[in-house]
Amino acid sequence: MKENTESITSILEKYPRAELLKTPFLIQRLNRLSSFIGNVIYILRDDLTGFALGGNKTRKLDYLIGDALVKKADTLVTMKASSFSRNAAAAGRVCGFDVHVVLAGDESEQNPASQAFFKQYDTELHYVSKDKESALPDVYNHLVESLKAQGKNVYELHPGGSDSIGALGYIDAFNHILRYSQSSGVHFHRIIHATGSTGTQAGLLLGQCISGYDTHIIGIAVSQKAEVQSKRVNELALSTAQMLGIQFDTTHTLIDDRFIGPGYAISSDEGKNAVKMFASMEGILLDQVYTGKAAAGLLNYAINKQFNHENVLFVHTGGNSDLFY
Ligand X SMILES: Cc1ncc(COP(=O)(O)O)c(C=O)c1O
Q: State the residues that interact with ligand X by CB under 6 A.
A: 55-56, 82-84, 160, 162, 194-201, 290-291, 317-318, 321
Check if the beta carbon of residue 253 is closer than 8 Å to that of residue 241: no
Helix%, strand%, coil% for the chain, nearest 5: 50, 15, 35
Nearer of residues 297 and 318 to ligand X, judged by Cβ: 318
Compute the least distance from the CB of residue 144 to ligand X, in Å.
Answer: 22
**Nearest 10 degrees: CA dihedral of 307, 309, 311, 314?**
40
Compute the least distance from the CB of residue 246 to ligand X, in Å.
Answer: 20
Q: Which helix (H) or strand (E) holds 28?
A: strand 27-29
Nearer of residues 49 and 215 to ligand X, judged by Cβ: 49
Compute the least distance from the CB of residue 305 to ligand X, in Å.
Answer: 26
Q: Which helix (H) or strand (E) holds 221?
A: strand 216-221
Nearer of residues 307 and 314 to ligand X, judged by Cβ: 314
Compute the least distance from the CB of residue 222 to ligand X, in Å.
Answer: 7
Q: Where are the alpha helices (DSSP H) in the chain?
A: 8-12, 31-37, 56-70, 83-94, 112-120, 136-149, 164-184, 199-211, 226-244, 269-282, 291-303
Compute the least distance from the CB of residue 168 to ligand X, in Å.
Answer: 12
Nearer of residues 215 and 291 to ligand X, judged by Cβ: 291
Compute the least distance from the CB of residue 162 to ligand X, in Å.
Answer: 5
Nearer of residues 110 and 321 to ligand X, judged by Cβ: 321
Q: What is the CA radius of gyration of the chain?
A: 19
Checking DSSP bridges between strand 98-104 and strand 124-128, what pairing results, if any? parallel
Nearer of residues 147 and 291 to ligand X, judged by Cβ: 291
Contacts of 10 (CB under 8 A, 6+ apart): none
